[in-house]
Amino acid sequence: MAKRVKQLPQARGTVLFDVVFEDGSRASNRRVPMEILNGLDGDQLARELVEQQEAEIAEKAGRPPRVIQSLMRAAKPEPKPDRE
């Protein structure tokens, strides 16, 4: 049986961000399309998109949206060694 090989997020056209909220909670690996990160305001546009995502999640959960304290790009994952 063939093993499924996952693509890295960059190969799929997304960048991962880690988000820290004012209440001290953290959300890892929020996906942001690479297309909106072009230009001078790249990470600011990512912040706006993550705020929209958070508002949608909060609405579905029935709670107020959390306020973002900081937003940083996630580190690239280490490649896993191939099995023989």
Residue 84: its pLDDT value, please? 61
Residue 28: its pLDDT value, please? 86
Predicted confidence pLDDT, tens digits, the chain (84 residues): 667 766 666 566 888 899 999 999 998 888 888 888 876 666 888 899 999 999 999 999 999 999 999 999 888 767 777 766
Nearest to 66 by CA among 49, 54, 53: 54
Nearest to 27 by CA among 17, 42, 36, 15: 17
Q: What is the pTM of this model?
A: 0.71
Residue 6: its pLDDT value, please? 67
